Amino acid sequence: TSVCLQGSTTGSAPPLADTVIEEVDEEEQNNIKPPAALPPQPELAEPLNTGSAIQRAAGPASPAAASAPPAAGPSSGSPAQQPEMREEQGLKTLRSIVSLGEPMKKYRAFEELGRGGFGAVYKALDTSTGQQVAIKIMSLEEMSEELAVNEILVMRDSRNPNIVSYLDSYLVDTELWLAMEFMDGGTLFDVLSAVSLEEGQIGAVCRECLQGLHFLHSRQVIHSDIKSNNVLVGMDGSVKLADFGLCAQLSPERSKRSSSVGTPSWMAPEVVRGEAYGPKVDIWSLGIMGLEMVEGEAPYEREARPRVFELIERNGPPKLQNPKHHSALLRDFLRCCLQADEDRRWSAQELLQHPFVTSGEPASSLAALITSAKQELEDWRGDACA
Ligand code: 3AM
């Protein structure tokens, strides 16, 4: 039955937007530091989903991903490292982070929740506490060690009510097992595919995500892949940011990032143009996620990637299809997020004071909505399996 459930979920949902890494800027490789008090960590060079990766043949920034970038860390001027060396370094870092022991003994009752290019996510029970957990099993043959390291470290060091909690991690042969808090409502993407949100509920989701983003940004961390697929919800109405593989840690010496990473329809214009950028790229993506909540999908989502980039660059901020159907507060909130000029775009802290956000419903009021979305999805899956 579970196979049927999974198959029907994929079949009934709109096409998933692929995360991509376009280019990793070489200078950034040298300068972006790993999160404070953590072992030196190389910056990303590989996509989360290798199958969906695209590398820009030409662009304003250097094609660093293809040119054996040097390791990040204290020796920022170090010579370029071969990919194998970076892989080895990534593996070494991973070994120093993960727990020893056998996760197959620590957890039981595995049930697949979903799959991605990285591997799969399972629900399981912690045998010692009886607590439900989610375990993301990533194949290190399919993805880089660096992405895995990134995901673990950012999650582990970002304890916040609006960020999915890290529990534990293990290396099992060529797989990385990442145990995290189980979010029983699934992704916001799933919720949106089943139910429509009222403005007060959209305000609540935005507030919760902004709280998570404010936490990350105040620690100079850019998420870089904010979208409804990467926001998890709980049946109690909780809303949390997830998927930290593409995060970047900025530092006083390097206050901008240049790697073109993210998911095309959600990318800010400065990312598309290959310019140096800061945490406000996440605010643009949040604005696009706002449009997902209002219109059901992100702008240009069905277009081919090169066309998406062209449209983002050419059209500036995307527009609501029927602006008059929405309140002035919602329109103003989206306008503040979707400013093409980064300096005019509001920060997470500023947006938390925006009346659309402050007048949003309490998160607990999302519980009923998430329950009915879950029910709707289960009914669809039941029908598809019948
Ligand atoms: O494929 P779907 O959308 O049904 O909800 C996430 C997604 O399900 C789920 O795993 C699938 C692939 O990402 N997932 C990921 N992390 C989770 C977590 N911490 C999770 N479900 C619950 N808790």
Tell me the domains of the chain and their CATH numbers.
36-44+185-375 (1.10.510.10), 89-181 (3.30.200.20)
Task: Show Cβ contacts of residue 138 under 8 Å, excluding neighbours closer than 6 positions.
Answer: 118, 119, 148, 151, 175, 176, 178
Angstrom distance (rounded) from CA 345 to CA 338: 7
Q: Best mutation site among 4, 113, 143, 184 for ligand 1, i.e. most ligand atoms within 8 A of its Cβ?
A: 113
Measured in angstroms, how far is the CA atom of residue 250 from the centroid of ligand 1?
A: 28
Q: Whose CA is nearest to atom 19 of ligand 1?
A: 182
Atom of ligand 1 nearest to the CA of 9: 4
Phi, psi of 252 (to 5 degrees): -60, -35
Q: Helix, strand, or coil here: 335? A: helix
Measured in angstroms, how far is the CA atom of residue 124 from the centroid of ligand 1?
A: 12
Q: Are 363 and 204 in contact (CB under 8 A)?
A: yes
Mean of the per-residue pLDDT values of the chain: 81
Measured in angstroms, how far is the CA atom of residue 365 from the centroid of ligand 1?
A: 22
Task: Work out whether the CA dihedral 131, 212, 207, 334 comes out positive or negative.
Answer: negative
163 CB less than 6 Å from ligand 1? no
Per-residue pLDDT at 185 exceeds 70: yes
- DSSP states along 59-104: -SS--GGGS-PPP-SS-TTPPPPPHHHHHHHHHHHHHHHSPPS-HH
Q: How confident is the model at residue 53 (pLDDT cuts 50, 70, 90)?
A: very low
Dihedral of CA atoms 137, 121, 99, 133 in degrees, nearest 10, equals: -170
164 CB less than 6 Å from ligand 1? yes
Per-residue pLDDT at 16 exceeds 80: no
User: Which of 99, 114, 215 shows the shortest CA–CA distance to 167?
Assistant: 99
The confidence score (pLDDT) of residue 333 equals: 98
Angstrom distance (rounded) from CA 63 to CA 58: 7
Q: Best mutation site among 187, 230, 380 for ligand 1, i.e. most ligand atoms within 8 A of its Cβ?
A: 187
Please calculate the CA angle 332-316-262 and round it to the nearest 5 degrees: 95
Phi-psi region of 173 (alpha: psi -120 to 50; beta: other; left: phi over 0): left
9 CB less than 6 Å from ligand 1? yes
The confidence score (pLDDT) of residue 148 equals: 87
Measured in angstroms, how far is the CA atom of residue 120 from the centroid of ligand 1?
A: 9
Structure tokens at 109: 């009752």
- Which entry of 157, 225, 243, 282 is annotated as an active-site residue? 225
The confidence score (pLDDT) of residue 21 equals: 54
Per-residue pLDDT at 93 exceeds 90: no
Report yes or no on whether pTM surpasses 0.75: yes
Verify whether residue 225 is a known catalytic residue: yes
**Amino acid occupying residue 46:** E
From residue 181, alpha-carbon distances to 161, 189, 210 in Å are 11, 18, 20
186 CB less than 6 Å from ligand 1? yes
Q: How confident is the model at residue 17 (pLDDT cuts 50, 70, 90)?
A: low
Measured in angstroms, how far is the CA atom of residue 187 from the centroid of ligand 1?
A: 6
Task: Show Cβ contacts of residue 361 under 8 Å, excluding neighbours closer than 6 positions.
Answer: 200, 201, 203, 204
Range of weakest confidence among 25-34, 207-216, 233-242: 25-34
117 CB less than 6 Å from ligand 1? no
The confidence score (pLDDT) of residue 18 equals: 67
Measured in angstroms, how far is the CA atom of residue 243 from the centroid of ligand 1?
A: 10
From residue 315, alpha-carbon distances to 102, 136, 308, 365 in Å are 52, 38, 10, 36
42 CB less than 6 Å from ligand 1? no
Burial of residue 54, with CB atoms counted within 10 A of its CB: 0-12 exposed, 13-18 middle, 19 or more buried: middle
Range of weakest confidence among 130-134, 160-164, 193-197, 259-263: 259-263
The confidence score (pLDDT) of residue 20 equals: 62
Angstrom distance (rounded) from CA 247 to CA 320: 29
Atom of ligand 1 nearest to the CA of 182: 23
- H-state helical runs in the chain: 2-12, 26-31, 83-97, 103-106, 145-156, 188-194, 199-218, 269-272, 280-295, 305-315, 328-337, 348-351, 355-358, 366-385
> What is the C-alpha radius of gyration for the chain, rounded to an integer number of angstroms?
20
Q: Best mutation site among 16, 121, 236 for ligand 1, i.e. most ligand atoms within 8 A of its Cβ?
A: 121
